[in-house]
Amino acid sequence: MSESKPGESKSSEGAPQRRLLIPSFLTPSGIKGEEKRERRERRLRIRRRSDVDEGKAKIHPEVLKELGIEDEVEIVLVGGGSRERKYVLKVIPSEDVPRNEVWCNEEEMRRLGVADNSIATIRKPLGPKEEKGT
C-alpha cells in the first residue's frame, strides 16, 4: 500500500489528482457564513442649539433604539466632491427632540463649519470603543 499526501487522492489509474484550493476572498458570500452585518443609519437634520453641551448630541430615544446606538453617535456630512466629514459625539436621549432632528451645540457646529438645518447621516460608530485606562 502506498501512502498519499493530504490534499491529493489517487484515481483509478493510480495517478495522483490535485485539489484546487480557492482563496477565501474569492469564495462566494453565499457559501461563506454571513459575516457582513448591515449597518443601520438614517439621514437626519442637524440643528444648532445653545442648550446642548459641547461634544454631545440630543437625539430622540426611539431613533437611538432603531439604530442600536447606546452612548456615541457618528455624524457624517458630505461637503461636495469627495469631501466627507465625520464627527463622533456622546448621545443624550431626549423626548423634546423631533424624530427627524439631531440637536448639537451651536458654537461647536459653527466652529466645525456645519450649517443649521444640514442633512447628515447618523449611525453607530465603527469598531469597539477604546478607552484609555489610568
35-84 per-position pLDDT tens digit? 555 668 899 999 999 999 999 999 999 999 999 998 999 999 987 666 78
**pLDDT greater than 80 at residue 31:** no
Interatomic CA distance for residues 7 and 5, integer angstroms: 6
Interatomic CA distance for residues 51 and 105, integer angstroms: 7
Q: 0.75 exceeded by the pTM? A: no
Using one digit for the tens of pLDDT, what is the confidence trace for 9-29? 555 566 677 777 767 666 665
Give the residue-averaged pLDDT of 106-115. 91
Give the residue-averaged pLDDT of 75-101. 88
User: Domains of the chain, with CATH numbers?
Assistant: 41-123 (2.40.40.20)
**pLDDT greater than 80 at residue 102:** yes
**pLDDT greater than 50 at residue 134:** no
Torsion of CA 89, 93, 95, 97, to 10 degrees: 0
Strands 72-78 and 8-10: unpaired
Cell, residue 36: 457582513
Interatomic CA distance for residues 108 and 119, integer angstroms: 17
